[in-house]
Amino acid sequence: MQRGGKARGRRVRVLFLSHRLPYPPLSGGAIKRWKVAEYLGRNYDLGVSVLCAPEDLPHKQDFLRRVSLVQFSETLISRPRSLLNLLRSGSRGLPLAVYRNDAALFKAQVEKAATFFDVLYLDSLLVLPAVPPMFGGKIVLHAHNAEYMIWRRYAGREKNPVRRAAVLLEGGRMRRYEALACQRAGRILAAPHDQTFLCGLGVNPEKFLDTFHFGDETLLARPDVAFSETEPALLHVGSLDWEPNLDGLLWFLEKVWRGLKQKHPQLRFYILGQGGGERLRAAARGLAGVRMTGFVEDLEPYHRRCRLFVAPLRFGGGMKVKIINAMYRGIPVLTTPIGAEGLETADGRHLSIAGDAAKMLRDADHLLRDAASWTCMRDEARQHARERFDWERVYGPLRKAIEE
C-alpha cells in the first residue's frame, strides 16, 4: 500500500465498523468516533457499517450530510443488559457487552461490503464478531481501553462476595476476548498506558501505535472565566450509567461532599448526564445543594458558573475526555490517580489529584477559597491541554496504521 492514501494507484478503501453511529459527538467515545470518521472520509474512500441503537436513528441523516462516504449500512439492535442476556452470553463464552452487539444481519452486511475494501477499521472490539473470517486485507483495531483492567479494578472495589465473583467471571471472559481481538488485528491503536496492560495479554508490542482520547478542542477558543465570575459550585458531566462514574459519585457524596458542605454552606453540586438510577438518586436524596439535571446539551452556562469540576474515579481505563474538556475550558479539576491516567499532569499544577477523601476535601476547600491558586491552575491546565491534547497526535498514527 503506497503512502498518501493510495493503493495500486487509487485511494485506499476503508470500511469503518462501529457499535454506535459516529454522530453526534456528545461524549468521550462519541467525540473520538466522529473525529476519526470525519478524518477518514476526507482522506480515503470510506464506507461505514454500524449497529444503531434506537436513539441513534434521529441523527442518521445529519451524519450522512456531514461526512463523505462511498457506502453506508446500519443494523438496528436493542439487546438490553439483563440477567437473561448475561446467561446467554455466558453459555457462548462471550462477554455480555460483545453478546449485546452480536447480530446476524450486521455480520451479513459487513461480509458483503468487505470485499470492496482494503482496510477494516474496528472502532472497538465489540464489532469483532462481524469481521469475515476470510477477509484478506488489513484489520486495524481501536482499543478504547484495556477493558479487562476495568473489570479487574471493579472487582477490587466490590465488597459483596457474590457480585465480586460475577465481576471476576465477566472480567475473565473479557480478558480472553480482548486477547483474541488483538491477535486478529494487524495494527492496534491504543493509549500508551493501555498498551502496557494489553502486552500483559501476550500481544506483540510491535502491533501498537499510540492513540489518544481527546475532547472538544473548540473550547480552547473560548475566553477565560475569572474566579470572581464563578460561584461556589461543583460540576460533574458524564454518563451516569457507566459504573466507574456512578461508583465515583457515590463515594464522593459519602466521603467528601458532607465535609465540604459544612465548610461552604452555599456550595452546590451539579451532576449532569443521563442515567444514574435509584442508587444515585437515593444517595443524593436529602443532600442540600445536590442537583441532578439529566442530560444538558449546552454546557457553557455550567462551565462559566461552576468553580470546580469533579471526576472522582476509583476504577476505569483510558484517557478521561470529561477531564480533558474541563482543562480545555479552564475549569480546575478534582480527580484521582485513575482519573489522571495518561494525561501527563502534575498534582497541584494542572489538576488536583487525590488518592483519598481527606486530600480531595482539603484541595477542594483551598481552590474554592483561593483565587490566586485557582487562576494559576486554570492557566496551567489550559496551556497543557493546548500543547498536549491536539488531534494531530491522533491523525498521524491513524494514517500510519492504514497506509503502511
* pLDDT computed for residue 127 by the predictor: 96
List strands edge to edge, sheet with 306-311. Answer: 290-294, 268-272, 231-237, 306-311, 333-335, 352-353
Task: Examine the pLDDT at 105 and tell me if it is beyond 50.
Answer: yes
At residue 115, φ and ψ (nearest 5 deg) are: -65, -20
Domains of the chain, first to last: 6-214+391-403 (3.40.50.2000), 217-388 (3.40.50.2000)
pLDDT tens, position by position, 217-275: 999 999 999 999 999 999 999 888 888 999 999 999 999 999 999 999 999 999 998 88
Task: Examine the pLDDT at 6 and tell me if it is beyond 90.
Answer: no
* pLDDT computed for residue 3 by the predictor: 43
Residue 279: half-sphere exposure toward Cβ, Cα within 13 Å: 14
pLDDT tens, position by position, 181-192: 999 999 999 999
Q: Exposed, middle or buried, 367 (CB in 10 Å: 0-12/13-18/19+)? A: buried
Q: Percent of the chain scored above 90 by pLDDT?
A: 81
- Of 20-24, 181-185, 316-320, 336-340, which range is least confident? 316-320
Task: Examine the pLDDT at 9 and tell me if it is beyond 80.
Answer: no
The contacts of residue 160 (CB under 8 Å, 6+ apart) are: none
Name the DSSP letter for residue 19.
S
Q: Exposed, middle or buried, 9 (CB in 10 Å: 0-12/13-18/19+)? A: exposed
| Averaged pLDDT, 371-386 | 97
CA distance 131 to 162: 35
Q: Return mean pLDDT, the chain.
A: 93
| Averaged pLDDT, 104-116 | 95
**∠ Cα 101 74 181 (to 5°):** 40
- Of 49-53, 221-225, 278-282, which range is least confident? 278-282
* pLDDT computed for residue 319 by the predictor: 75
CA distance 269 to 271: 6
Closest CA to 335 of 226, 196, 236: 236
Grid coordinates belonging to 401: 496504521
| Averaged pLDDT, 310-336 | 92
User: 211: helix, coil or strand?
Assistant: coil
